[in-house]
Structure 1
Amino acid sequence: MNMDLDEALGRLSAAPVPPGLAEIEDKVFARVREEAAFATQRLRVGAVAVIAALGLGFAAGSPVTAAASPNTLSPFGPSSPLAPSTLLAAD
């Protein structure tokens, strides 16, 4: 397929201009402005999400003071009042 580039460009320049070509620039810039408005909104939502994630990460990773647990009954504890040996020896 041999095509002379100068000949192809000459035919292209001789062709009539498409009717929508003059308005395409305005349409493209309008769409860019529209997307830019959405981009700033998405940026705000993303920043809030990042701050919330960092806050949850700091809250989950912070040291927590252990509260003293109440004395519970345990069958394997040394002084369990419900151990079989203490129940049998009580008589």
Structure 2
Amino acid sequence: MLTGKQKRFLRSEAHHLQPLFQIGKSGLTEAILAQIDEALEARELLKVSVLQNCEEDKNEIAERIGAFKGIEVVQVIGNIIVLYRESKEKKRILLP
């Protein structure tokens, strides 16, 4: 579980990032979850964009991602979800 200070730090780190994944009409699938899992292992911090034609609610998508393998939802703002999970092998981000 992240503290408020850690979330604030991660939001500032994620500010300049572009979304790596887009969730569209088909919604959040197992394939997208697997790709997000792999990308978080490599990067630790990433953004996911929820497109307007997605039928699922962005907050429900964030909850489902957050329940998957210890992924932390840092922020949901607009149609962007910021995700974090500490890498097991390549720790890049040092949290305050």
TM-score class, shorter-chain normalisation, is under 0.3
Bigger helix fraction = 1
Between structure 1 and structure 2, the one with the greater Rg is 1
TM-score (ref. length: structure 1): 0.19
